[in-house]
Amino acid sequence: MYLKRFRRSNLENILRQSLAKQVNTACRKMVYCPYCNATNGVVKKAGLLRIVHEKFRAKKTHGEMEKWKETFKTAVENDKQIAPLLNRAHEDLNPLKVLDLFRRISAEDCELLGSHPKFGRPEEMVWQYISVPPACIRPSVAQDGATNEDDITVKLAEIAFNNSILRMHLNKGAGTQQIVEQWNALSECVAVYINSETPGLPPNSGKPLRGFCQRLKGKQGRFRGNLSGKRVDFSGRTVISPDPNLQIDEVAVPERVAKVLTYPERVTEVNIERLRQAIRNGWDKHPGAAYVYSAGANVKRSLQHSKFNRAEFADKLEIGDIVERHVIDGDIVLFNRQPSLHKLSIMCHRAKVRPWRSFRLNECVCNPYNADFDGDEMNMHVPQTEEARTEALELMSVKKNLVTPRNGEPVISAIQDFITAAWLLSQRDRFFDRRQFTQICCYFNDANLQIDIPPPTIWKPKRLWTGKQIFNCMMKPNKDCEVLVNLESKCATFHKPDPKKWPPGVHIINDLSPNDGWLVIRNSEVMCGVMDKATVGGGKKTSVFSVIIRDYGPDDAALVMNRLAKTAARWLANIGFSLGINDVIPGPILSEKKNEMVERAYADCQQLIEKAKMGKLENKPGCDQEQTLEALISGVLSKVRGDVGDICMRELSRYNAPLIMATCGSKGGAVRSS
């Protein structure tokens, strides 16, 4: 039955694994061999390198064990000390015995084991020969007139020596004790040869040996140190810092780094004058060049060490030559932060050469990199061919990876200060006159964008615009813009209206949320609601950016994100937003309520402790008295912590900085505010 299912041509790997588990479960229940009716007991590891077979451990085999003991009747009569040892007798499965058993396994059983009946026989797992690596894997080191051999070479010599001693004992007919001791010594040598940290081995005096496992695993091993951890050219690494003035797909490259990293650009009619000027600037002035490759003469010249006249050589530059120039604005680079845990840990940015010595990026891109600015360092790589640049731009660009491939939710979006500023701007009591409104609109404008000022919300006694209209201009700055966002979504502070407070028969609508917690956008006009983590942050398919990505593509979403980043950083810097000591000192009323709740919780915990001492505490399912008491006390303390956080959210001033951050979701929560 199982064999036919294993031989299906379209069998998937998950079903194959499930079948293998079923076969394993069925084999465990077999007490007798279906071929020779021999008893199958329990096979387990004993000691360091021994495997034993406890043949008569099952209850069904009690009668067979008694028959087996009868065969030792004469030996027991001659030596009474043998009798108590018979109950603990077991079969020693040495490698020769295991090899013989594996060779008897049929081809059909090999298929049930999940191995190939011809090329994956079980006996191939038993070593009969030791592979000797080449000398380049175990080089000799000459030191102080002598030669020090590698640990692998030393251990191979020990294996050969112990093997020759064992062969000599077998040829001379030595005693069993000598052969067993020499066999164990040879087994230990082979174990150390593979893994010198095998548990149970006698400790080695002096420097620890490095077996094959030690050379492969760990940070300095072959996999992480040489295969995965590559050392490459045309790369740079330094500390990162934030810059909200950059676009989300840009990275600020220090000028010092830009003068070291180069890109081989082929000379054409379009760029010949620019590359000539780069040659005149040389290697130490940006934008310059480091090398020139003359296609006709097949000569590569260094501009750093050459003695020729740069101006003269620049004039002789011809179409088809290659100039290794400095990195300039707009170049395609790859940006990476380790550890690279997923696809978005390395993405494609456009270089923006700037002074100072740190890489800078827009804070919206921190989430996929899991980056912060407490000293993190990141790597930058410069692709060296047009094909590589094109692939990076099409497959790894930031704009092409705004959503995570895991579930399609936006992973690049507004964070922290951007969310705080968006929430403060979109409050329904936030009004601006014309001068203030146009000034804020200029924050996200780069002087190339026409902005159509919408009509004011309030006309008399003074014309005033709301903060929500700022977001209207961000999404649709003028009549030529085709972005029309339509969205209804709940904000982070949304509370569903209580039906008891409404007259009977009245249809309850979310738009009239008393705390302005329901966002409604019609044709890129914000009707109600605030901008917080749920509406402009990441992780929600109902956010503003997610809707723009879905309806208009990543380019328009990136434009709106860039405008929000610029506006949030500049407006927040002007009005000021900081956390002071007064923000974290509770008032007398709040302190009194908090103390009352904490004292009440401590009293409840004391009552639970007294009940437990008297044995009146009813145990929870699957728990003893101590576990039940711990669970109940933990529940009481967790509840009081949440209640105190809720009181802080209600009683603190609406201008309290930690409360603002917790409310809009930019940082912290109710528990942290408490």
Q: Which of 19-23, 357-361, 461-465, 525-529 has the lowest mean pLDDT?
A: 19-23
| 3-state secondary structure at position 54 | strand
Amino acid letter, residue 270: V
Instruction: Label residues 388-408 b or e (16+ Cβ within 10 Å = b).
Output: ebeebbeebbbbebbbbeeee
Tell how far CA 212 is from the center of its chain. 29
Amino acid letter, residue 672: R
Q: What is the pLDDT of residue 325?
A: 92
Dmax of the chain from CA atoms?
121
Q: What is the pLDDT of residue 246?
A: 92
Q: Which of 403-412, 458-467, 621-630 has the lowest mean pLDDT?
A: 621-630
| 3-state secondary structure at position 300 | strand
Q: What is the pLDDT of residue 667?
A: 79
Distance of alpha carbon 457 from alpha carbon 431, whole angstroms = 9
pLDDT band at 259 (very low <50, low <70, confident <90, very high): very high
Tokens 């077991």, residue?
A: 90
Query: What pLDDT, in 10s, does the model give residues 380-401?
Result: 999 999 999 999 999 999 999 9
Class of domain 417-498+510-575: mainly alpha
pLDDT band at 349 (very low <50, low <70, confident <90, very high): very high
Which residues belong to CATH 1.10.132.30 in the chain?
Answer: 584-673
Q: What is the pLDDT of residue 60?
A: 63
Instruction: Name 371's bridge partners.
Output: none
Nearby residues of 327 by Cβ (< 8 Å), 6 or more positions away: 253, 257, 258, 261, 262, 263, 333, 351, 353, 382
* Ranges of H-type helices in 576-624: 588-614
pLDDT above 70: residue 177: yes
Distance of alpha carbon 429 from alpha carbon 421, whole angstroms = 14
Any idea what DSSP says for residue 384?
-
Query: What pLDDT, in 10s, does the model give residues 288-300?
Result: 998 888 877 777 8
Backbone dihedral angles phi then psi of residue 334, each to the nearest 5 degrees: -105, 135
CA atoms within 13 A on the CB side of 625: 10
Instruction: Name 349's bridge partners.
Output: 333
306 or 27: whose pLDDT is higher?
27
Tell how far CA 443 is from the center of its chain. 35
Q: Hey, which of 16-30, 83-97, 350-364, 658-672 has the most confident mean pLDDT?
A: 350-364
Q: What is the pTM of this model?
A: 0.66
Tokens 């208009």, residue?
A: 552
Tell how far CA 589 is from the center of its chain. 45
Distance of alpha carbon 194 from alpha carbon 362, whole angstroms = 49
Tell how far CA 466 is from the center of its chain. 41
Tokens of 406: 């895991």
Nearby residues of 645 by Cβ (< 8 Å), 6 or more positions away: 669, 670, 671, 672, 673, 674
Q: What is the pLDDT of residue 188?
A: 87
Distance of alpha carbon 313 from alpha carbon 541, whole angstroms = 57
Average pLDDT over residues 215-228: 83
Amino acid letter, residue 84: P
Residue 619 CB coordination number (10 Å): 12
Amino acid letter, residue 48: L
* Residues 323/275, Cβ–Cβ less than 8 Å: yes
Tell how far CA 627 is from the center of its chain. 35
Tokens of 56: 């008569």
Q: What is the pLDDT of residue 307?
A: 56
| 3-state secondary structure at position 332 | strand
Which residues belong to CATH 1.10.274.100 in the chain?
Answer: 417-498+510-575
91 or 153: whose pLDDT is higher?
153
pLDDT band at 669 (very low <50, low <70, confident <90, very high): low
Average pLDDT over residues 347-367: 92
pLDDT above 90: residue 241: yes
| 3-state secondary structure at position 162 | helix
Q: What is the 3-state secondary structure (H, E, C) of 226-248?
A: HHHCCCCCCEEEEEEEECCCCCC
Q: What is the pLDDT of residue 388?
A: 93
Nearby residues of 631 by Cβ (< 8 Å), 6 or more positions away: 620, 623
Distance of alpha carbon 246 from alpha carbon 82, whole angstroms = 86
Distance of alpha carbon 367 from alpha carbon 180, whole angstroms = 61
Amino acid letter, residue 126: V
Q: What is the pLDDT of residue 392?
A: 93
Tell how far CA 105 is from the center of its chain. 44
Fold classification of 235-396 (topology level) = Barwin-like endoglucanases (2.40.40)
How big is the chain, counted in residues?
674
pLDDT band at 306 (very low <50, low <70, confident <90, very high): low
Q: What is the pLDDT of residue 160?
A: 92
Q: What is the pLDDT of residue 308?
A: 63
Q: What is the 3-state secondary structure (H, E, C) of 206-222?
A: CCCCCCHHHHHCCCCCH
Distance of alpha carbon 35 from alpha carbon 451, whole angstroms = 88
pLDDT above 90: residue 379: yes
Tell how far CA 334 is from the center of its chain. 18
Backbone dihedral angles phi then psi of residue 250, each to the nearest 5 degrees: -115, 155
pLDDT band at 255 (very low <50, low <70, confident <90, very high): very high
**Mean pLDDT of the chain, nearest integer:** 84
* Residues 383/334, Cβ–Cβ less than 8 Å: yes
Q: Which of 107-121, 270-284, 408-422, 611-625 has the lowest mean pLDDT?
A: 611-625
Distance of alpha carbon 257 from alpha carbon 262, whole angstroms = 10
Distance of alpha carbon 561 from alpha carbon 555, whole angstroms = 10
Q: What is the pLDDT of residue 670?
A: 53
- Taking the alpha carbons at both ends of the chain, their separation in whole angstroms is 64
pLDDT above 60: residue 673: no
Q: What is the pLDDT of residue 262?
A: 92
Average pLDDT over residues 183-199: 86
Distance of alpha carbon 308 from alpha carbon 301, whole angstroms = 10
Q: What is the pLDDT of residue 334?
A: 94
pLDDT band at 59 (very low <50, low <70, confident <90, very high): low
Backbone dihedral angles phi then psi of residue 241, each to the nearest 5 degrees: -145, 160
Which residues belong to CATH 2.40.40.20 in the chain?
Answer: 235-396
Average pLDDT over residues 62-75: 75
pLDDT above 60: residue 186: yes
Pairing mode, strands 359-361 and 235-242 = parallel
Q: Which of 182-186, 434-438, 450-454, 649-653 has the lowest mean pLDDT?
A: 649-653
DSSP codes of every residue in 300-331 = EEETTT--S-HHHHHHT--TT-EEEEEP-TT-
Tokens 């709740």, residue?
A: 597
Query: What pLDDT, in 10s, does the model give residues 308-328?
Result: 678 888 888 888 889 999 999
| 3-state secondary structure at position 552 | helix
Query: What pLDDT, in 10s, does the model give residues 546-604?
Result: 999 999 989 999 999 999 999 999 999 888 888 888 777 777 777 788 888 888 888 88
* Residues 446/245, Cβ–Cβ less than 8 Å: no
- Angle, helix 151-172 to helix 176-194, in steps of 10 degrees: 160
Provide long-range contacts, Cβ within 8 A and 24+ apart, for 301-305: 303/279
Nearby residues of 607 by Cβ (< 8 Å), 6 or more positions away: none
The second-level CATH assignment, the architecture, of 584-673 is Orthogonal Bundle (1.10)
Amino acid letter, residue 559: L
Distance of alpha carbon 585 from alpha carbon 587, whole angstroms = 7
Instruction: Name 464's bridge partners.
Output: 458
Distance of alpha carbon 103 from alpha carbon 365, whole angstroms = 59
* Residues 85/72, Cβ–Cβ less than 8 Å: no
Distance of alpha carbon 1 from alpha carbon 26, whole angstroms = 12
Q: Which of 43-47, 241-245, 271-275, 413-417 has the lowest mean pLDDT?
A: 43-47
Backbone dihedral angles phi then psi of residue 530, each to the nearest 5 degrees: -120, 160
